[in-house]
Structure 1
Amino acid sequence: MTDSRRRLSPDDRRNELLALGAEVFGQRPYDEVRIDEIAERAGVSRALMYHYFPDKRAFFAAVVRAEGERLFEATNPPRLPGQTLFGQIRAGVLAYLRYDEEHPHGAWAAYMGMGRADPVLRGIEDIDNDRQANRIIDRVGAAVGEALDAKVERDLRATVYGWLAFTFEMCRQRLIDPSLNADLIADMCAHGLLDAVGRVPGIPAALAAAVSPDAR
């Protein structure tokens, strides 16, 4: 066992530690987790653990960042031929929910990191929100086929950020209570975004048509 661990590359070792961290932080409060415990469970020395992560705060931030990366990749299903904007958004929400089902500890560790006062964690959350918002706005722009007015884009971006917070909380609630219906949540979230976008003043006619109830 020890020999096989020694053959791990630095990247593989780091990923192994992050995966273990996601499991532990997803099961217990941050303050109850000791960095020495992680090293012991991973079968590595404390010194090696600190080689990768200078302290527990940095380790936890790295866990949250890694989970954010995985979630971002998992929530980008390919667009199917003829798929509506509603269908694309709904598919993305379902992918989010599936990720939570398949990685409950890692997802919960990421949820624990979001919204904290720590500026490092806040910065990770901001980056994740920016990337998700840009992806959605790109999809919306593709449905329009033309550049959006600066004011419209500003209002649209604010709308998307608000929707991300709503969707985040709905997915967190299902992680707490898995009996909540995934299809219902996906429908609510997708309808919610399109309804909100449809209320943004001055959106192009093509976008208004794409978010209308008839287009869903």
Structure 2
Amino acid sequence: MSEPRRRLSPDDRRNELLALGAEVFGQRPYDDVRIDEIAERAGVSRALMYHYFPDKRAFFAAVVRAESERLFEATNTPPRPGQSLFDQLREGVLAYLRYDEENPYGAWATYVGMGRHDPVLRGIEDVDNERQANRVLARIRAAAGVELDSKVERDLRIRVYGWLAFTFEMCRQHVLEPSIDVDQVAEACAHALLDVIRRLPGIPADFAERTVVDGPTRRLGA
């Protein structure tokens, strides 16, 4: 039975539909979800549903985009004065894992969405990866304390994109198997990027030395 329809602003109604979509797509395969079902559960007419989203593909893309925006904001962990790069990376990954734990359906809908080959969904992933890469690169530059050579910047960006894919999969595995220790995941991801930085040809030698972290809980010095 549908819920009684409530008066909401257009933005609030759209956000409500997106939240409901994340819940539904996060529990069932895309092909099993009907747009009419979403409208019924939200207590709106089919016509109103199509007013906001022309078809199921557009609705799913909007759900993935909204969840990606929420995740991007959730992983915005500004560095504290004197905080090491290791700790910054670790906190960012922990924020990612917390978001997944607090929004399991939305997180899974995003994982499913990013695994599809639809060009619209691929475009959402590309935008999100670029924003995340720029955020990580800014932290690395600040930690290096010197201007990096343009070739080093290029090669570093490529490796950061690869690291994002690695981190994405590590966090997805935690959704699949919640018993995996979040601290181990976060530290493994942080260590992985520091190792990539240290091995990058052309990286300043003093910065490379400062990326060495002894043991799983030792912190990279400022």
Give me the TM-score of the superposition, normalised by structure 1. 0.95
Using the TM superposition, give the Cα deviation of residue 116 of structure 1 relative to its aligned residue in structure 2, in angstroms. Answer: 1.3
Using the TM superposition, give the Cα deviation of residue 146 of structure 1 relative to its aligned residue in structure 2, in angstroms. Answer: 2.8
Using the TM superposition, give the Cα deviation of residue 205 of structure 1 relative to its aligned residue in structure 2, in angstroms. Answer: 3.4
Higher helix content, 1 or 2: 1
In the alignment, the residues of structure 2 paired with residue 209 and residue 84 of structure 1 have an alpha-carbon distance, to the nearest angstrom, of 14
Deviations 1:55-76 (A, max 9, x none): 0000000000000000000011
In the alignment, the residues of structure 1 paired with residue 9 and residue 121 of structure 2 have an alpha-carbon distance, to the nearest angstrom, of 27
Q: What does residue 164 of structure 1 align with? A: 164
Q: What does residue 179 of structure 1 align with? A: 179
Using the TM superposition, give the Cα deviation of residue 77 of structure 1 relative to its aligned residue in structure 2, in angstroms. Answer: 1.4
Using the TM superposition, give the Cα deviation of residue 97 of structure 1 relative to its aligned residue in structure 2, in angstroms. Answer: 0.3
Using the TM superposition, give the Cα deviation of residue 206 of structure 1 relative to its aligned residue in structure 2, in angstroms. Answer: 4.6
> Secondary structure at the residue paired with 2:77?
coil
Q: Which moved more, 1:61-70 or 1:199-208?
A: 199-208
RMSD of aligned Cα (Å): 1.3
- Identical aligned residues as a percent: 74
Q: What does residue 149 of structure 2 align with? A: 149
> Secondary structure at the residue paired with 1:213?
coil
> Secondary structure at the residue paired with 1:133?
helix
- Answering whether residue 203 of structure 2 is matched by residue 212 of structure 1, we say no
Using the TM superposition, give the Cα deviation of residue 2 of structure 1 relative to its aligned residue in structure 2, in angstroms. Answer: 4.0
Letter in 1 for 2:133: A
> Secondary structure at the residue paired with 1:147?
coil
Q: What does residue 11 of structure 2 align with? A: 11
Matches within 5 A, 1:101-140: 101-140=101-140
Give 5+ residue unaligned stretches, structure 1. Answer: none
Letter in 2 for 1:68: S
Matches within 5 A, 1:14-93: 14-93=14-93
In the alignment, the residues of structure 1 paired with residue 146 and residue 27 of structure 2 have an alpha-carbon distance, to the nearest angstrom, of 47
Kindly indicate whether the alpha-carbon contact (under 8 Å) linking 1:143 and 1:206 is maintained by their aligned counterparts in 2.
no
Distance 1:210 1:12, change over 3 A: farther
> Secondary structure at the residue paired with 2:71?
helix
Q: What is the number of residues matched between the two proteins?
A: 214
Give me the TM-score of the superposition, normalised by structure 2. 0.93
Using the TM superposition, give the Cα deviation of residue 145 of structure 1 relative to its aligned residue in structure 2, in angstroms. Answer: 2.6
